Copies of this chain bind each other. A is one copy, B any other.
Amino acid sequence: MNDAEFLAALRDLVGANHVHSDPADLEPVLADWWDIAHGGAVAAVYPGSTAEVAAVMRLCAQLGRTVVPQGGNTGLCRGATPQPGGRGIVLGLRRMTALREIDTPSNIVVAEAGLPLAALHDALAEHGRRLPLHLGSEGSAQLGGLISTNAGGTGALRYGPMRDMVAGIEVVLPDGRVLTDLDALRKNNTGYDLKHLFIGAEGTLGIVTAAAFRIHPALRSSAHAWLAVDALDDAVRLLVSLQERFDTAIQAVELLSADQVDLVLRYIPRSRLPLDTMPKWSLMIELGASDPTAPLQAALEDWLASAFEEGLIADAFLAQNQTQAADIWHVRHGVSDANKQHGRSLSHDVAVRPARLPQMIARCSDAVTAAYPQARILIVSHIGDGNVHFIAHFAHDDWAAVPDQSATVKHVMGMVHDIVTNLGGTFSAEHGIGRKLAGELAQRADPARLTIMRGIKDHLDPQRLMNPGAIFPA
């Protein structure tokens, strides 16, 4: 079947309006979020139902056409960008946005994969509920993509990544069969738990079309603080002390280095430092509870007093109202934008156990600055879960002067990933593998693990049509 016949068959299945093959329509779909990678496809296809997804998958399996699933296209590792020269399809679920069910007594919501995360947040708020997944791209990132990349964010310290929130999925397999598990039971021990294979599989095993999520009651009391800390070891000690006292009341603990805060203050409107001097390390804390009578503000003040006494904090700002709290988080959320304006960031999404974090940051900083004295090291860390965005940042002029940019990117990445993996850490904490890190995975992962992954892939997708090049090198 030639391309024209293939397109006609696709139009028969989902309707002519939902098969985009014009180069102008295709262009944004074929580029990644950074606009670094550009791939090829015959069409972008937007089915309107699980049955239509299944029909499209059957057709592609019959014809040996590749399928690249794409959600909001906000991924950072090129997992949703087809291979250059690809002659298959990009499959999007933006028409599948139904909230199939909100079961508030059971604390379960069932939603379709094309719904953006922010839209789900809004819908749940009307029912006094929330899904505690928060990340920068939540306005456009879709649930299906967030599941397929096992999204992390600031709440993972307390609630885990997306994997921990998914109670069940509906997935269309590469051959068009539909696997449905939306009963969303908290306990169900009837054989292997298959949903965890598809969560974080980056669309290499099938298409997630809907999911059931465990939801939580809305927060009705909170407390927010910005702590000035002199040494990273103290930041870890504070984290431990905070967890021992507040455990599950902790909603977020974020760490920024002084240079990072400095860049945000320079570039982001309405950003301000609520302390007298720039701290070496900034620790931002949010506590929250569903009980409106929980005395979190007083308890946090009490804890801060004891931390001062122990000499762990140089200075601290305890927000007295929601505006002051929002000011703290406004600085945290300004990071990406500020860095983009100032220069080129070589960003590494790494993680180690929290206890090893000071050592990891020190070693990586020393190695990179020794090789590239013009680089500024910026640290943005979800410290509570050990995840560090380790950024070697070059001002625009400095980056332009780098002789071989591509080799520099690889050189820095190799240094950072070597140090992190030697400390028992991971070179991809929350962003996934995609096409960007498929080579790293092939090189660094345990061969036994890769063999099993490949065996599962071959069992479910024997023709290797699903998202080729992602996770496994093409």
Contacts and interface: CB of A to CB of B under 8 A. Distances in A.
Interface of A: 103-108, 128, 149-150, 152, 156-157, 160-161, 163-164, 173, 177-181, 183-194, 196-197, 199-201, 205, 216-217, 236, 239-240, 243-249, 289-291, 293-295, 299, 302, 351-356, 382, 385-387, 424-433, 437, 441, 445-446, 448-450, 452-453, 455-456, 459-460, 471
B187 A385 contact: yes
Contacts of A351: 185-188
Given A183-B426, A184-B353, A193-B200, 13 more contacts: A103-B353, A103-B355, A105-B353, A149-B189, A177-B448, A178-B448, A186-B387, A187-B387, A187-B429, A190-B433, A192-B456, A216-B247, A455-B460
A343 to B, nearest CB: 27
A239 to B, nearest CB: 8
Contacts of A455: 459-460
Nearest to A199: B193
20 contacts: A103-B355, A106-B354, A149-B189, A152-B187, A156-B186, A163-B193, A164-B164, A183-B424, A183-B425, A185-B426, A186-B385, A188-B426, A188-B429, A189-B429, A190-B433, A192-B205, A192-B453, A192-B456, A196-B196, A249-B291
Contact of A189 (B205, B432, B449): B432
B244 A290 contact: yes
Given A160-B186, A248-B248, A445 B191 contact: yes
Nearest to A175: B448
A199 B128 CA distance: 34
Given A189-B433, A243-B107, A247-B290, A456 B456 contact: yes
B197 A192 contact: yes
A89 B430 CA distance: 42
Contacts of A448: 173, 177-179
A451 to B, nearest CB: 8
A275 B471 CA distance: 60
A239 B291 CA distance: 15
A352 B460 CA distance: 30
Contacts of A243: 107, 217
Given A291-B245, A353-B185, A428 B387 contact: no
Given A173-B448, A236-B105, A161 B190 contact: no
Contacts of A387: 186-187
The 8 closest A-B pairs by CB, nearest first: A196-B196, A186-B385, A106-B353, A105-B355, A187-B429, A247-B290, A455-B459, A248-B248
Contacts of A424: 183
Nearest to A216: B247
Contacts of A450: 191
B355 A191 contact: no
A92 B164 CA distance: 31
Nearest to A214: B160
Contacts of A248: 248-249
A229 to B, nearest CB: 15
A240 to B, nearest CB: 5
Contacts of A293: 299, 302
A375 B354 CA distance: 55
Contacts of A386: 106, 185-187
A427 B183 CA distance: 12
Given A426-B185, A456-B459, A191 B291 contact: no
Contacts of A190: 426-428, 433, 437, 441, 445
A185 B445 contact: no
A201 B192 CA distance: 6
Max chain B Cβ within 10 angstroms of own Cβ: one of A186, A351, A352: A186
A231 to B, nearest CB: 15
A287 to B, nearest CB: 10
B240 A179 contact: no
A283 B294 CA distance: 24
Contacts of A106: 353-356, 386
Contacts of A425: 183, 185
Contacts of A356: 106
A180 B183 CA distance: 32
Contact of A446 (B152, B180, B193, B199): B180
B247 A183 contact: no
A185 B236 contact: no
Contacts of A355: 103, 105-106
